[in-house]
Amino acid sequence: MFPRDFAWGAATSAYQIEGGWQADGKGPSIWDTFCHEKGGVFGNQNGDVTCNSYELWEKDLECIQQLGLTHYRLSLSWARLLPDGTIRNVNQKGVQYYNRVIDDLLACDVSPMVTLYHFDLPQAIQNLGGWKSPDVATLFDSYSKFCFQTFGDRVKLWITINEPHVCARLGHEVGIHAPGLKEKGTAAYLVGHNMLRAHAMAWHSYNSEYRTTQKGAVSLALNSDWFEPLDPLRHEDVASAERDLAFTLGWFAWPVFITGDYPELMRSAIETQSKMMGYSGNWRLPRFSKEDPPILGTADFFALNYYTSRKVKSGGCCGPMLSMKRDLDAEEVLDPSWPISGVSWLAVVPHGLRKLLKYIKDVFNNPTIYITENGFAQVGPLQIEDVERCKFYRSTISEVVKAIEEDGVNVRGYFAWSLMDNFEWADGFSVRFGLFHVEFSGAELSRTIYRSGREYSKIISKYKSAQSGCQGFLDDDY
Ligand code: PNW
C-alpha cells in the first residue's frame, strides 16, 4: 500500500520548457550558448521557445490539474532570476514569474518541488570557469539563499542540483551537453567535486538560516541505472557491476549519505589507472577540504532519478588515454530480453527500479526516498495512443508498490518525467517524454493529453479515493 500523503507528481525543467530565453531581462545560460553555437544538438534545435511556458504557464497548470497531481517538480532558471549569476543584480520579472507559478500551484492544492539547478548555468559564471572553478560553490550558495529567502515561505521541497553525474560527465567529459568540454579523465571529477561543495554549502545555509522558520527539506537529485553482473558467477563481472554503481550513484551518495568521502572503490580504481599511466596516484579525484562545510549528512531525503538498467561485464576499455571509461574499466551491455523505448539508451526495465530502491535502503541507511524522475521516450510519428508507455508506467509503479510492501523501502513520492514533451537536450525535439503531447510546429504550442497521461491520472485518482487501503490497486481495470 502507498503511504499516506504519497507525492504523485510530474517533473520538468526550466530550459526544457520555458522558452523566453531573452525575455524581460533574462541572462543567457550555457545551454543558450551551446545550442546557438550549432552542431551539438539534433537538427541544430534550441530551447529559445520550446513549450513557451514563460508565457503559457496557465496551459501547464491546466495539464497539472487534469492529471490530478499532488506535486509538481519544476526548476528555476538561475539566469532568469540573476542574469549575471550574482545577487548584485536581481531580475524582478523573473521573481514575479516564479512567484506566480508557485502561488497558482498552491491555490490548486499542488505542492511545488523546486530544483535550483537543472543543467543551465548562467553563461556569466561559465565565463569565470564554470563548475571547474572552486568559486562557483559560493556563487551557488548565494543564489540558493536568495531563492530560500524569496520562495521558501511557500516551497517546502528543494532539490539543489539535478544529476551532478550527468552535468559532470556529459558536460565535461563526453561533451554532448553544455558546456561541451571533452577533458577526459579530469574535469568531470573536479566538476562533481565543486557540485558537491556547492550543494553542501546550500544545505548548510538552509539548515542554519531557514529551516526553523520555513520547515522544508533539501536534497540533491541523483541519477543511476541499476547495474547487475552479466554473469553473476563471474567474479570480474560482479566486481565491475559494483564499480559501476560506485562510479554512478556512489560518487555522490557516499559523501552525502555514508562517509563524507568518495567510495573507496572509486578512489582506488582512479588511483590505479593514474599510476598505470605514469601519473601520481591521488591527482584526479579531489579530497574534501576541512575548510569547507562537511558533506556528510547534507540531505534530508534521497532523491532518485531512475530510467534504465544495464548488465555489466569486465573490460571493454579503451585507448591509451586517461578517461572515466578507463577508470571504470567495465563494459555495459543490454539484456536482449529488455524492450527498448524510443531512445537507444532507455531499455525498459521496471524491476531494476525495485532492485535499486532496495539497494539504496540497504546501503544508504534506509532513507526516505522520492523518485524524482522516471519516464519513457517516444520517437517518430505522433502516437497519442501510446500503449507502450502506458504499460511502462503501470509496470514501473507496480514495482514501486512491491518495493514498499515487500522490501519495506520508504518511498514517499513518484514524479513522472515529464509533464509534457519538451526540449530533450542533445536530442532536441526528436524525443518525446511527455504525458502531454506538445505541438511544436503550431504557433499555439497546444498541449494534448496522451493515453499515458489519462492512465497516470487514473492511477492517481484511485490512490486518492483509496487513501488508506491501496492493496492491489493496480490489479483491476488494467
Ligand atoms: C535526465 N543520457 O537527464 C534529466 O534530468 C532530464 O532533464 C531529461 O530530460 C531526462 O533525464 C530524460 O533524458 C538525462 O544521455 C539526460 O543518458 C541524458 C541522459 C540521461 C539522463
Measured from CB, residues less than 6 Å from any atom of ligand 1 are: 13, 16, 162-163, 166, 223, 305, 345, 373, 417, 424-425, 433
Best residue for ligand 1 mutational test, from 425, 429, 432, 433 (most atoms within 8 Å of Cβ):
425
The C-alpha cell at 139 is 556563487
Report which DSSP code applies to 130. G
**Which amino acid residue places its CA nearest to atom 21 of ligand 1?**
166
Instruction: Evaluate whether 197 touches 137 at the Cβ level (below 8 Å).
Output: yes
CA distances from 194 to 183, 313, 405 (A): 16, 31, 38
Nearest to 21 by CA among 102, 83, 92, 109: 83
pLDDT in tens, 45-86: 999 999 999 999 999 999 999 999 999 999 999 999 999 999
Q: Is residue 392 classed as helix, strand or coil in its secondary structure?
A: helix
Query: Which residue in the block uniquely carries the three cell numbers 556569466?
Result: 124
Q: How far apart are CA 352 and CA 31, in angstroms?
A: 31
Percentage of the chain lying above the pLDDT 70 cut: 98
Nearest to 163 by CA among 204, 123, 131: 131
pLDDT in tens, 346-399: 999 999 999 999 999 999 999 999 999 999 999 999 999 999 999 999 999 999
**Which amino acid residue places its CA nearest to atom 16 of ligand 1?**
166
- Peptide bond just before 323 cis, omega within 30 deg: no
Identify each DSSP E strand in 280-379 by its residue range.
302-305, 309-314, 330-333, 369-373
Q: What is the mean pLDDT of residues 211-225?
A: 98
Ligand 1 center to 466 CA (angstroms): 33
Going by C-beta distance under 8 Å and a sequence separation of 6 or more, which residues neighbour residue 388?
339, 341, 376, 378
pLDDT in tens, 423-467: 999 999 999 999 999 999 999 999 999 999 999 999 999 999 887
Q: Structure pTM?
A: 0.97
pLDDT number for residue 466: 84
Instruction: Evaluate whether 408 touches 416 at the Cβ level (below 8 Å).
Output: no
Residues labelled catalytic: 163, 373
pLDDT number for residue 478: 38
Looking at the CA of residue 424, tell me the nearest atom of ligand 1. Answer: 9
Q: Is residue 159 classed as helix, strand or coil in its secondary structure?
A: strand
Ligand 1 center to 275 CA (angstroms): 33
pLDDT number for residue 468: 55
Q: What is the mean pLDDT of residues 130-157?
A: 99
Q: How far apart are CA 120 and CA 378, in angstroms?
A: 24
Q: How far apart are CA 442 and CA 218, in angstroms?
A: 39
Instruction: Evaluate whether 237 touches 331 at the Cβ level (below 8 Å).
Output: no
